[in-house]
Amino acid sequence: MSSPGRVAIFGPGLIGGSIALALRARHPETKISIWGRRPDQLAGILKRGIADAVEADPVDAVRNADLVILCTPVGAMKELAAAIAPHLAPGAVVTDAGSVKVSVVEQLTPILGKRFVGAHPMAGSERSGLSAARADLFTGAPCIVTPVPEGDAKAIATACDFWRQLGCTITMMAPLEHDRLVARISHLPHALAFALVNLVLDTLPPGSQNLAGGSFRDATRVAASDPALWTGILTENRTEVAASLREMAKLLKSMAGALGDEKSDSLLDFCTRAKHHRDSLPLPPPEETR
């Protein structure tokens, strides 16, 4: 598995910044150019030495790049893809780090063709931005790669190698399968955190938050995430997220019903199954962000 020679990263936030730091740590010979919208941010990147070049023009960023990684919000990707497509080197591969895949793959494949291989590294933090970036963000993190059936085997292998080189474990699935799974295993926990913290703090007497214990703090940790970023993610994956919210609402109403009917046996079964499931989760990677 040879290291990527020249890499262009679009979007110097938590993910883009962590990719640059991980490459610096693991493959210091890689040439890194970073594209970003804000000049102050680009100056900060150069100062910290985590890129060889910073570019305000997408076309300059991808010149001679072997691999391009789109780490911007999902909503910005189509426009960027259209800007860079005519200027990509032959054989250059494009991947992304977006947390939804059906819409991204549907939008970018017609523009970029078979060189595009969608991906979703499942690493993150409730903190965002370059200041939260870490070289070990991807160590042991799952990365779902979502090739289309008619995809190019070489491009897929290049993209998988890249994410693996950052420390990810690769799982492949179709874009729709990804969105269904991720709606329930990642987007739903975020939506629940937003809803729980609002339900509790909108309605309880002032000062009640001082009585929050570990269960409330853990259940709502990701509610501190960037609201605009998460509104975008939930909206992009709206069909599956809405379905999962309705499934959850139904389950909560059935729990309320079981409590009202004093069906403690069925509640005990429910909680016992939950404990069994929870205990079956693999241990977190040692460097996981809390």
Subset of residues 250 to 289 that bind a copy of itself, contact rule: CB under 8 A? 250-253, 255-257, 259-260, 262, 264, 267-268, 270-275, 277-282, 284, 288-289
Determine if 137 is a binding residue for a copy of itself (CB under 8 A): no
Dihedral (Cα; 42, 45, 47, 49), 10-degree rounding: -140
- 25 token code pair: 């740590």
Determine if 20 is a binding residue for a copy of itself (CB under 8 A): no
- Residue 73: CB minimum distance to a copy of itself, A: 13
Of 56 and 204, nearer to a copy of itself (C-beta) is 204
- Residue 187: CB minimum distance to a copy of itself, A: 9
Determine if 59 is a binding residue for a copy of itself (CB under 8 A): no
Spatial separation of the C-alpha atoms in residues 251 and 258, rounded to whole Å: 11
Sheet holding 67-70, edge to edge: 53-55, 31-35, 6-10, 67-70, 93-96, 116-121, 142-146, 169-172
CA-based nearest residue to 50, from 66, 67, 38, 33:
33
Of 90 and 260, nearer to a copy of itself (C-beta) is 260
Number of H-type helices and E-type strands within the chain: 12, 8
CA 11 to chain centre: 13
- List the x/- string, 110-129, binding to a copy of itself by CB under 8 A: ------------xxxx----
Spatial separation of the C-alpha atoms in residues 25 and 21, rounded to whole Å: 6
CB of 50 closer than 8 Å to CB of 24: yes
Residue 80, Cβ neighbours under 10 Å: how many?
A: 22
- Residue 150: CB minimum distance to a copy of itself, A: 23
Number of residues that bind a copy of itself (CB under 8 A): 94
Of 89 and 195, nearer to a copy of itself (C-beta) is 195
In the list 24, 171, 174, 176, the residue contacting a copy of itself (rule: CB under 8 A) is 171
Determine if 209 is a binding residue for a copy of itself (CB under 8 A): yes
Given the rule CB under 8 A, which of 15-23, 44-52, 87-95, 216-224 is the region that contacts a copy of itself? Answer: 216-224
Of 38 and 246, nearer to a copy of itself (C-beta) is 246
Spatial separation of the C-alpha atoms in residues 144 and 118, rounded to whole Å: 9
In the list 92, 93, 117, 141, the residue contacting a copy of itself (rule: CB under 8 A) is 141
